[in-house]
Amino acid sequence: MRYWFACLVALAAPVAAQERPAAPAFTLAPLPYPATALEPVIDGETMTLHHDRHHRAYVDALNKAVAADPALFGLSLEQLLAQAGSAPTAVRDNAGGHWNHGFFWKTMTRPGAGGAPSPELARAIDAAFGSMERMKTAFKAAGTGRFGSGWVWLIVDADGRLAITSTPNQDNPLMDVAAIRGTPLLGNDVWEHAYYLKHRNRRAEYLDTWWQVVDCKTVSERFAETMDRTAQD
């Protein structure tokens, strides 16, 4: 009797394991601050819709796309971005959407709490653009010049220099399809859903006020980490 019971348990176990749903490969982290923390620059309703609806949709769609292709199992988000040019469109769009938004939330903090760039970053900005204000002007020009939806970025390029670039849709400079590749230090979402409830169609106004919530401490840390990696390579 014990023998037959043991056999039944052994046969049932693999079936149960197969029927158990696999955990999603990617998850949506909560915002690193309350949804209202960036007011009056970005209103709480926009932040809630942007994070809870738009970002979640990218995560859910990415998990669905990865689950449909065994070749993608176990790849990190950065690995998916690096092969975006050969990936299915659903993977490229939604991996980009997930990475870009996770990066975006961490780039911001409460108005006036972001501090100033580190001396090292400030020197690099002056060397590349002439001044912080000129960098902001170039950033705004790239953001307003992006036709339709997309992102504008401050990056460290392949030569270790700062550059400003823009990408369409949910692409980013880490992708193998990017016109200018590099390591993002900060990025701003210029899809209308990022600003429309408050700024309507006034993208330039949104880009101007956005600097009030940029977390320069985080940006400076990213710059230091990027330059350390560059020195080691």
pLDDT tens per residue across span 19-62: 444 667 899 999 999 999 999 999 999 999 999 999 999 999 99
pLDDT at residue 5 tops 90: no
Q: What is the largest CA-CA distance in the chain?
A: 85
The pLDDT score that the predictor gives to residue 230 is: 84
pLDDT at residue 179 tops 50: yes
pLDDT at residue 80 tops 90: yes
The pLDDT score that the predictor gives to residue 233 is: 75
pLDDT at residue 147 tops 70: yes
Nearest CA-CA partner of 171 in 197, 155, 63: 155
Is residue 87 within 8 Å of residue 95, measured between CB atoms? Answer: yes
pLDDT at residue 11 tops 70: no
The pLDDT score that the predictor gives to residue 9 is: 42
For 163, the token pair is 């550059």
- In which band, very low, low, confident or very high, does the pLDDT at 6 lie, cut at 50, 70 and 90? very low
Q: How far is CA 78 from the centre of its chain?
A: 11
- In which band, very low, low, confident or very high, does the pLDDT at 4 lie, cut at 50, 70 and 90? very low
pLDDT at residue 16 tops 90: no
Nearest CA-CA partner of 68 in 54, 85, 87, 55: 87
pTM score > 0.85 for this model? yes
Q: Mean pLDDT across the stretch 180-188?
A: 98
Is residue 92 within 8 Å of residue 69, measured between CB atoms? Answer: no
The pLDDT score that the predictor gives to residue 89 is: 97
| Greater model confidence, 18 or 80 | 80
Nearest CA-CA partner of 141 in 230, 222, 207: 207
Q: Mean pLDDT across the stretch 120-147?
A: 98
Q: Percent of the chain scored above 70 by pLDDT?
A: 90
The pLDDT score that the predictor gives to residue 22 is: 60
Residue 193, by phi and psi: left (phi above 0), alpha (psi -120 to 50) or beta?
alpha
The pLDDT score that the predictor gives to residue 232 is: 84
